[in-house]
A and B are shown apart, each in its own frame.
Chain A
Amino acid sequence: MKIIKYSFLISCILLLVNCIDPFEIEATEFKSALVIEGTITDQEEIQRIMVSRTFPLDTVLMTGLSAVNVNVLDSNGGVYAFSETSPGDYRSNTPFAATAGLTYTLKVATSDGNSYTSEETAVPAKTNIDNLYADRDFKDDGAEEGMFIYVDSYDATGQSKYYRYEYEETYKIIAPNWSASDAYIVSPLPNPEVAIRAKTKEERVAYNTVASNTIIQENTTELGEDRVNKFPVRFINRENFILSHRYSILVRQFVQSRAAFSYYETLELLSGTESLFSQRQSGFLEGNIKSDTNAEDDVVGFFQVSTVSEKRLFFNYTDFFEGESLPKYPVDCTLVSPPIINEAGASPLLVAIELETLKYVEEYNQETNPNNLSEFGPFLMVATPCGNSTFYGTNVVPDFWVE
């Protein structure tokens, strides 16, 4: 429905308009504001608060804000001090957990003498993820097929209601054209010579971990009970190579206040591409942090206290796609055989080895040219990502990884 409405409005504009012209947003319209992102959880851990400033529309430079005094206060008079670990990233000096029944307030003082205080925030109810499971299914009435990661959760007390999810997915990458050996340059031009030697580091299997960056929320207020049932936290198209071997996802379920819920919801709406044409009423999104020193000084962001529950899930491609072909590797893994010296007197093979654009696969029989290549050299080579999985991740097995 949404789409229809928007396309309607878009068309309205097009229909009437003789002219849509781009124009430059004037640089003077930059609004510098403090950005605070912080979620204190009920887990005994080093808590984290991010402080930065907004940056102009025409730049991409984001820098954290240093030398900020960050403290979280509880309603019992407890003060938890934070220290900067990297620019803009503040960690609590000691691990602590938000305790039910108390309220928490964030206090931030910047080096320019301004200070900011969040609203008092209570600790919401705690609800655990009951089930985290994956299933193969169709999305959008068959338009796409893939894996859904579902969450089940139930709060018998009916207190939780507003859920937000974050996940961290880790997947195993196996280089399809891995070889135990690497080519290396024995002698450069003008007398080029190459040879192979055993690899010194793991390049066949790697693991990559990616954090979610979208806003995933669910509420149970329209339901008869506070039950999250088969909520799709994540959908992965079956063509996505991250499913290829073994996949793991850690899902964190935050129970949050309604205010936080609606903050994230509106943030999502405002940033959605579909709102851009519609002349929808947009506006400054007010969070729960205010300047103590200057009421006009708007603060972007939200400080919240959440209870958190997490669960991890593993599955293999074969668990759901037994006997089916793997998703395509993200790059083309066609084998090539660059000549060691070509007609122009250059050495494509040496360049490829030196710049690590290609990886050694096997020896090539230059006598018979079995692959009927138009030009060839001593080795069959492949694009680096196909022979070295660490191009996409790390070869260090994550602590949590279970085969």
Chain B
Amino acid sequence: MRKYLQLLMLLLSIGVFAQENESRFNFQIENKNVLEVLNEIEQEAGVTFYLDEKWVSDKNYSGNFTNETLENILETIFKETNLNFFRLNDSKIIITQNNIIYKDLPEGFFGKEEIDSVKENTNYTRISSNPVFSNIEASNKNTITRTVRIGKENLTNTRSGYTIRGYAKTAEQGQPISNLSIILNGKNSGAVTKDDGFYELEVPMGTSILKTSSLGIEPSTTRIIVFNDGELNFNLNESVEFLDEVIVEANAAKNVEEALSGSTELVVEETKNIPLVLGERDVLKVATTLPGISTAGEGAAGFNVRGGSTDQNLILLDNAVIYNPSHFFGIFQALNPFTTKDLKILKGGIPSEYGGRLSSVFDITSKDADNEKFSGEAAVGPVTSNVALEIPVVKGKSGLLVGGRGTYSGWILRSLKDESLNNSKASFYDAIAKYTHVVNDKNTLRAMGYYSSDAFSITSDSVYGYNNRLLSFQWDHQFNEKNTASLIVANSNYEFNIGYEGNSDSNFDLGFVVDETEAKFKFTYLHSKAHKFDYGLSAKLYNVQPGNLEPNGGNSIVDTKIIPNEKAVEAALYVSDNFKVSDKLLIDVGLRYSMFATLGTADARVYEENMPKNEETLVETVSYDTNEVVETYGGPEIRLSARYFLGPDLSVKASYNSTYQYIHRLSNTTTISPIDTWKLSDNNIKPQKGRQVGLGLYKNLEGNQYEISLEGYYKEADNLLDFKVGSELLLNETIETETLQGDGQAYGVEFLIRKNSGKLNGWLGYTYSRSFLKLDSEFAEERVNNGAYFPTNYDKPHDFSAVMNYKLTKRYSLSANLSYQTGRPVTYPVARYNFNNSEYVVYSNRNEFRIPDYYRLDLGINIEGNHKIKKLAHSFWNISVYNVLGRNNPYSVFFVTENGELKAYQSSIFSIPVPTITYNFKF
């Protein structure tokens, strides 16, 4: 499989070179294995053969060549075999079995589709083991146009049409030609031959032209003069067509075909025309325009997927978990758009390979560097500049991808009028390097390193910073045709720091770190056409430093406070069977068993059972030694998906998922902030559990040009983490006394229509969804809203997005985003009262009110540089205006008492139109 892929890739990337100045060679071969012979030729002639060694391993050859061209030598050697060869260029020769590689496809192979609407999407390319052309030989014969008379003109005959029938056969072997189109010229009618080559066609009286065409068969034109029913046979030559360049889009119908529901892919390159704020191409932002994915507010970090909280998404960058994939509190993504290949979001059916988060998987893959030629891409925008380079290291074997991005956001802060921000600064950068080494056709190594950093100071005396560090290593190995495996080792580290340096003696440093290392073995076993098994195991070690407060400088009187480190392991075994029950029914049955153990050193606090956790109910504190198991959790997770074809382009899918999550984000604010900490499950905080059922209908129209999907889901979750009103989470050693764990419930319907090609492309998505939480307890202090279900902070029932791009010409395109969302729920004060000799306000039930609805329109124009093939660099301009309508969308509302009077304020992020110009170029 991989072999073919490589062959085709090579074929695609490089055109056919003229074979001039043929060199001539001498060889003496005495009963040598063909493979050895080829090796010898490789060395002598300076060429490389691409072939499967199995084809020639049992073949020997003897013979002498003197001053022969390479072509002749190979022809002679392969004469007695079923092998063919194709000379790609001076140094590459592709050997094929049975098949001949054609340089061109027949005209009209892709219908009327324009070539520039075909997108490269090689990641999901799957080429079937039946190549496009089968067993046809080269022929240079010209098509003969013949004239056939059927019947004799008879003036007494009044019939206006006659039936002709016959067989189509190959001229050489006399094999029946099936699926041959016979078109009655100019009459919009015709026939297609059956499996045995038979056809039947109504033709008018008199002269007609019949044209035949089929893949691999030379077209023919036959003039017929018909005056009666009769027989007409076709003996047709097989044709040779040479490919120029074919880009295979194998996943065009994936939407309809695969078993997983609720999965979405975004190819970064395809998102470049979408207007975004401050010119940052941001695939994560684009993701939020898709149904089921939203954020708490404009510029808010984190994603809410199908009514799940922001900590329930497993965000992977080349297999390593990225805890905070955003810069500048969430306004920008921390991913370099030039090094990111694609983003796959799994929000419905989650394959058993993934686990540890309830709601979704964001699988972000970086590009593999081009190992043939040096290339690069750069962008200059108003906030950041960005560059990526692809550097071949060993030609044809390995390449290095490096990317870097930095901001000059100082001016943003300076341009804000607020005087309190005069001393503020903010900077961020991220860098990535990925090395891809194709050791041989059975082994590929990938190593990736990533670092992102944010630092900002708002007042002169404090500096805040956070950073992500990822390292990942992947070794793909193919044991044989049926078995492949990957070994993945990934480390991820997220930390934040607050440094305070004022004039007083209270200077301090505060830090938080979460670090995880995972090793994962993945195996794939292609059992048969019907069964494909994926199985594997993984183990992850967590180390969390929940909070360290240290004095800064000799004068500081701050007491050192260190919350004890947390340590745990999470392990999982998984297996799944992709089972093709019939042509119509495909099921994916997966089971994952995950286990989690909290390890010492730890002081585990034990509270009275069935009592609220607080100092009063603390029974004892048990000490555990290093690596001693404090608490274990675990259980089976079921992952079921099924697809059933209702029609050729229409399928229905159903899925059921259950998931466990052992690490939780602690946040008592309504939107997430970079100083939210993460907490591992322990003897007091139980893992979150989720279950989701989904049902969807998928339809592709007009040759996969349009994808339509309608999906519904219902989710339940246990032990979702929330916090008591007014809890203090940072540097809190007894965090369990502040937490509440409750049940979640979410449901929704998502509709998406997506047009992938043509002048107008883009998508429209609409989601109706609800998300609720219930925090109930027999104790009032652990109860919210009387223990009834209430809307979560990110419950936005109506969510509409349109992302559209219209190509005016090949160089100019217009794009527009439109989004509308119901305002998110908030808690308002609703009354005042006197109590304890003071005045207080009554807050409404949690999230009883909503901020005003959100809507925004962005417009952009994209100008591609000219399309000359030979030029130094390819440039791309993007001019866009974010929030054209200048809508003042509220981000949050808050209440301040000023001189005893309560005042309400709303804040907004980008309340005015923000114009941007960016310049990108590729070289």
Contact = CB atoms under 8 A, between A and B. Distances in A.
Interface of A: 1-2, 4-5, 7-9, 11-25, 29-33, 35, 37, 52-57, 59, 62, 119, 141, 161-162, 211-215, 219, 221-222, 258-259, 262-267, 269-271, 273, 275-288, 295, 298, 300-301
A8 B888 contact: no
Contacts of B505: 141
A22 B904 contact: yes
B830 A270 contact: no
Contacts of A119: 780
Nearest to A214: B838
Given A30-B830, A280-B726, 17 more contacts: A11-B421, A16-B331, A18-B912, A19-B908, A31-B830, A54-B832, A215-B836, A259-B779, A266-B726, A273-B896, A279-B892, A282-B725, A282-B726, A284-B842, A284-B846, A286-B786, A301-B835
Contacts of A52: 833-834
A287 B837 CA distance: 18
B780 A286 contact: yes
9 contacts: A17-B908, A19-B908, A19-B912, A20-B905, A211-B837, A271-B840, A283-B843, A283-B845, A300-B842
Given A18-B910, A284-B846, A259 B780 contact: yes
B837 A213 contact: yes
Contact size range, B: 35 or more
Contacts, number: 231
Contact of B673 (A12, A23, A258, A273): A12
B299 interface: yes
Given A8-B464, A33-B831, A13 B840 contact: no
A5 B832 contact: no
Contact of A21 (B830, B842, B888, B897): B888
A35 B835 contact: yes
Nearest to B426: A15
Interface string B420-463: 11001010000000000000000000000000000010110010
A96 B842 CA distance: 32
B256 interface: no
Given A8-B675, A62-B833, A278 B843 contact: no
Contacts of B843: 270, 282-285
A102 to B, nearest CB: 21
Given A270-B843, A285-B725, A13 B892 contact: yes
Nearest to A24: B904
B781 to A, nearest CB: 5
Interface of B: 299, 329, 331, 413, 416, 418, 420-421, 424, 426, 456, 458-459, 462, 464, 498, 500, 505, 549, 557, 614-616, 618, 668-671, 673, 675, 723-726, 728, 730-731, 779-781, 783-786, 793, 827-846, 849, 888, 891-897, 902-912
A300 B845 CA distance: 12
Nearest to A265: B726
B833 A4 contact: no
B903 A22 contact: yes
B909 A29 contact: no
Contacts of B844: 29, 31, 283-284
Nearest to B612: A258
A56 B831 CA distance: 5
A117 B903 CA distance: 34
A15 B888 contact: no
Contacts of B418: 14
Contacts of A262: 614, 781
A11 B464 CA distance: 11
A8 B835 contact: no
A286 B836 contact: no
B730 A219 contact: no
Contacts of A9: 669, 673
A4 B498 contact: yes
Given A55-B833, A212-B837, A267-B840, A20 B906 contact: yes
B907 A19 contact: yes
A300 B670 CA distance: 24
A260 to B, nearest CB: 10
Given A62-B833, A221-B616, A281-B668, A21 B906 contact: yes
A174 to B, nearest CB: 27
B300 to A, nearest CB: 10
A29 B781 contact: no
Nearest to A219: B615
Given A5-B730, A259-B779, A276-B896, A57 B902 contact: yes
Nearest to B911: A19
Nearest to B457: A11
A280 B780 contact: no
B616 A258 contact: yes
B619 to A, nearest CB: 13
Contacts of B618: 221
Given A57-B841, A285-B843, A17 B725 contact: no
